[in-house]
Amino acid sequence: MNLGPTEIMMLVLLGVLMFGPEKLPPVARKVGRVYRYLSGIANEAKDQLGKELGPGFQDLSLADLNPKTFLTKHLLDAGEVDAVREALSESKQALSDGSAELASATAGIASGANELLGALNGSEDGVLVTPAGVPFDLEAT
């Protein structure tokens, strides 16, 4: 935690206003003890986690527990991350191009089927009438 001079002055002024000048030193001591206690607990937990994970993780920090940071730091080199990003980008573009081609091919097949049905049925709307007289719409199924 980085506190500049202005932040420290504001905290002192706030403390004097809240607790008064006679109660401020004992309150500051209590706050300092609580801060050291919580800091000790956090450091102890971090050290224990580092020991349990093994020697490769002794310099573990809380930022390293972020999954993206963890993978980047421990599993992938920086060049590998860029290569994976580029491969994913190329795959995304190929899938986009393929879906556009598939959509146009499907539209062509559907229009050809409608023309064929119209020719077989003698109608222009592409609705086939079955021998039992029940209408059957090819696009609805």
Q: How far apart are CA 19 and CA 9, in angstroms?
A: 15
Strands 135-137 and 127-129: antiparallel
Residue 27 has a pLDDT of 86
pLDDT digits (tens, 9 = 90+) for 48-63: 887 887 777 667 676 7
Mean pLDDT of the chain: 77
pLDDT digits (tens, 9 = 90+) for 115-135: 776 666 555 555 555 555 556
What is the secondary structure of 15-81 as a DSSP string?
Answer: HHHHH-TTTHHHHHHHHHHHHHHHHHHHHHHHHHHHHHH-GGGTT--GGGGSHHHHHHHHT--HHHH
Stretch 109-117: mean pLDDT, rounded? Answer: 74
User: Where do the structural domains in the chain lie, given as residue ranges?
Assistant: 1-58, 85-141
Residue 127 has a pLDDT of 54
Q: Is 117 exposed, middle or buried (0-12, 13-18, 19+ CB in 10 A)?
A: buried
Residue 30 has a pLDDT of 92
